[in-house]
Chain A
């Protein structure tokens, strides 16, 4: 029983970061209308930025978080401006090829610059654990969960209270009306894409401590995010956290209870994606 609860706890802690990354993907998909296969590469960028700042100046990842958020926002904005905007009206296949190509380029650029080794950011508190009765909480996963949850709550307030947040949701629901109401959709797209990248960048900093930075760390999260977004329903931002929780719990359960489970964990998202798509198509019939 204790093992079971500990497993659920591990899953819950992971769900925060998953939700953060997947919310970004849901934003670029729902608001800008682009299938961004390079979403995880913004995460990789954040992870390497955190690594560099730590390796060069010993900067604490907690401080890197804000920097990575801003840097990824800027990179996301530039990506939108230079690459995405020209193909907004292009066929979907072309858009997907473009973002897929961007993902390949960025991964190989990272390979060139940093090599294939995984890099871990190891601040003093990296291995610290908290005990909660019979349970163990890693200080880093716990901190990452709190930070992710905090960011998601801020985001929730942004989407329901601020005009800009409302405008982002509005653009996702109707493409014609915002222009007639004096809202420049182009500007909203730019900010939404930047924000999507920034969320991934912040998650990347957390993962540089929880997991590692590597050229392919982002791509894995792109795939997982797609599974989460498919489960939540396209454009459904509120559904992202519950869906992320489902994936993270499923992974934790597989890791604990399936013999040799560690190796199967990274395939769980595929099962979730499969079941989500089958479930949706059955409901649509």
Chain B
């Protein structure tokens, strides 16, 4: 499955945030979307998953225009979104949170989903009866990703998974996403941790003030003087 964003412009109220953004995520690819705070990365994800209406441009999933579809309809088309701030259900157990991720699938796929998520994050299996609100930051992030994976997405948008995590945990989470991508899912990863993202990504885009200003392989981007200066502080 392939995600295409074409010439997308949108914003909040009268404040325009995105000015004609185009990008693409293919099956099995881990694509990093990098940029400073306020560049419009989260806004882009929100527009892709239908939380925000585009002013112009289109979002295509396998060539199908998603215009007018609710976030829930898009999720059912195998577009997953791990939102900013994780947005877990804090008073429900880990397992209940996961189960809700599979709410629209046939019940028999639930078991397959648990197995897959627990294999990826064994720590969640140990805590399956614990309330989500009592998990550590890293475990909460794993749960947010796991919950999205329960719906068997083929395109997965992940918003700042490393936020607030120790460097070791951040790496663990990003490596897990790499594994998800290896399993055939196209992952669009929004990150401020540029160095770490460039280590795991297959491709990357750099956003500045609502526009894509650079794109290419991690090697190319890490060699680019602008990236080195602005994001890698080298």
Which residues of A line the B interface, CB within 8 A? 163, 166-167, 169-170, 173-174, 176-185
A163 proximity list for chain B (CB < 8 A) = 99-100, 103
How far is B17's CA from A160's CA once the two chains are assembled, in angstroms?
41
A169 proximity list for chain B (CB < 8 A) = 89, 91-92
What is the CB-to-nearest-CB distance from B159 to chain A, in angstroms, rounded to a whole number? 11
What is the CB-to-nearest-CB distance from A58 to chain B, in angstroms, rounded to a whole number? 44
A181 proximity list for chain B (CB < 8 A) = 72, 75, 100-101, 103-104, 147-148, 151
Indicate if the CB atoms of B87 and A177 lie closer than 8 Å: yes
What is the CB-to-nearest-CB distance from B101 to chain A, in angstroms, rounded to a whole number? 5
> Does B26 interact with chain A (Cβ within 8 Å)?
no
What is the CB-to-nearest-CB distance from A162 to chain B, in angstroms, rounded to a whole number? 10
Given contacts A177-B88, A181-B151, contact A170 B100 (CB under 8 A): yes
B70-114 toward A: CB 8 Å interface, digit per residue (1/0)? 111101100011010001111110001001110110000000000
> Does B49 interact with chain A (Cβ within 8 Å)?
yes
How far is B86's CA from A176's CA once the two chains are assembled, in angstroms?
10
What is the CB-to-nearest-CB distance from A175 to chain B, in angstroms, rounded to a whole number? 9
Indicate if the CB atoms of A180 and B75 lie closer than 8 Å: yes
A177 proximity list for chain B (CB < 8 A) = 83, 87-89
Indicate if the CB atoms of B83 and A180 lie closer than 8 Å: yes
How far is B80's CA from A184's CA once the two chains are assembled, in angstroms?
15
Residue of A nearest to B50 (CB): A179
Interface of A is mostly: helix
Indicate if the CB atoms of A173 and B92 lie closer than 8 Å: yes
B88 proximity list for chain A (CB < 8 A) = 174, 177
> Does B213 interact with chain A (Cβ within 8 Å)?
no
Indicate if the CB atoms of B71 and A167 lie closer than 8 Å: no
What is the CB-to-nearest-CB distance from A170 to chain B, in angstroms, rounded to a whole number? 5
Indicate if the CB atoms of B92 and A170 lie closer than 8 Å: yes
What is the CB-to-nearest-CB distance from B93 to chain A, in angstroms, rounded to a whole number? 10
A180 proximity list for chain B (CB < 8 A) = 49, 51, 71-72, 75, 80-81, 83, 87, 148
A179 proximity list for chain B (CB < 8 A) = 50-51, 70-72, 75
What is the CB-to-nearest-CB distance from B18 to chain A, in angstroms, rounded to a whole number? 19
B75 proximity list for chain A (CB < 8 A) = 179-182
Residue of A nearest to B100 (CB): A170
How far is B49's CA from A179's CA once the two chains are assembled, in angstroms?
9
B71 proximity list for chain A (CB < 8 A) = 179-180
How far is B96's CA from A173's CA once the two chains are assembled, in angstroms?
13
How far is B212's CA from A79's CA once the two chains are assembled, in angstroms?
47
Which of B81, B87, B100 lies in contact with A183, CB distance below 8 A? B100
Which of B76, B80, B96, B147 lies in contact with A166, CB distance below 8 A? B96
Which of A178, A179, A180, A185 has the most B CB atoms < 10 Å from its CB?
Answer: A180
Indicate if the CB atoms of B83 and A182 lie closer than 8 Å: no
Residue of A nearest to B144 (CB): A177
Given contacts A181-B147, A182-B72, contact A174 B87 (CB under 8 A): yes
Residue of B nearest to A183 (CB): B103
B147 proximity list for chain A (CB < 8 A) = 181
How far is B99's CA from A261's CA once the two chains are assembled, in angstroms?
51
Indicate if the CB atoms of B92 and A182 lie closer than 8 Å: no
How far is B14's CA from A140's CA once the two chains are assembled, in angstroms?
62
What is the CB-to-nearest-CB distance from A239 to chain B, in angstroms, rounded to a whole number? 12
Indicate if the CB atoms of A182 and B87 lie closer than 8 Å: no
How far is B72's CA from A170's CA once the two chains are assembled, in angstroms?
14
- 4 shortest A-B CB distances, which residue pairs? A182-B75, A179-B71, A182-B104, A177-B87
How far is B93's CA from A173's CA once the two chains are assembled, in angstroms?
12
B30-56 toward A: CB 8 Å interface, digit per residue (1/0)? 000000000000000000011100000
How far is B151's CA from A185's CA once the two chains are assembled, in angstroms?
17
What is the CB-to-nearest-CB distance from B8 to chain A, in angstroms, rounded to a whole number? 19
How far is B27's CA from A53's CA once the two chains are assembled, in angstroms?
62
How far is B73's CA from A162's CA once the two chains are assembled, in angstroms?
21
Could you write out 13 A-B pairs with CB less than 8 Å apart? A166-B92, A167-B100, A170-B100, A173-B92, A174-B87, A174-B89, A174-B90, A177-B87, A179-B70, A180-B71, A180-B72, A182-B151, A183-B72
How far is B83's CA from A185's CA once the two chains are assembled, in angstroms?
17
A173 proximity list for chain B (CB < 8 A) = 89-92
Indicate if the CB atoms of B103 and A166 lie closer than 8 Å: yes
What is the CB-to-nearest-CB distance from B219 to chain A, in angstroms, rounded to a whole number? 33
